[in-house]
Structure 1
């Protein structure tokens, strides 16, 4: 079985932007991201990537922004040079977890970013992100700040 083929849509979030119902359903069932955080992201005009398969079924979403939150800078002891893309959330819908969709989706996002990528991973996902060439730069409780240095 080959790589799953995914289509990636890019949406610039804004307060008046309608969010697809499939994304809202995933947020409703997420323990990582909330509707309140989505509304905050919309006010900050972040970018949302939505992934779907060849049949048009929703696979997952990712919200990013250039730069990273001030509180992150206070927590990490790592010299970040230049601009970075911060991943607020990366979520694969439950029915599509475990089928290589996450890996293909991350590769698509990496190919669209011209800067290094920084994120905060929950403990259960650190191994996945390491397989995607992200490295741990700082631990924060049961979470880890990780970076993909794509512009080396």
Structure 2
């Protein structure tokens, strides 16, 4: 499998890294720390001109400018069956709306798996495109984003017109 990457500058995250194979997006690293792990795992080739990298950057740029509400790039989610079930449910949350962890657990017919949903959210390999930032606490509080960065979650929600 040929793995390539590109990068883009964002106001919210700084540099983000986009990882693709021949036909799908399969990772977005939002921090240098995440990127170091991803780079070690895949040793991707830098190719800012790869057509899929270019398309993803265009769609992310449109999203950050407030002009895109859904993503249409092909994605590949790699994780456990449970994680994939959670991530697929996240993709159903419309732009500008939120759900709580219990809502997601109920939607996947596993209402007691609230904490496991949180862990799956944390391991989401394609943040923003798979909108884990739209999942908040039952009391409408912000809870960890990529572990602890609730400030980033808040900025993404504000971008979508959501005040928490």
Greater strand share, structure number? 1
Indicate whether the TM-score tops 0.5.
no
| TM-score when normalising by structure 1 | 0.29
Greater helix share, structure number? 2
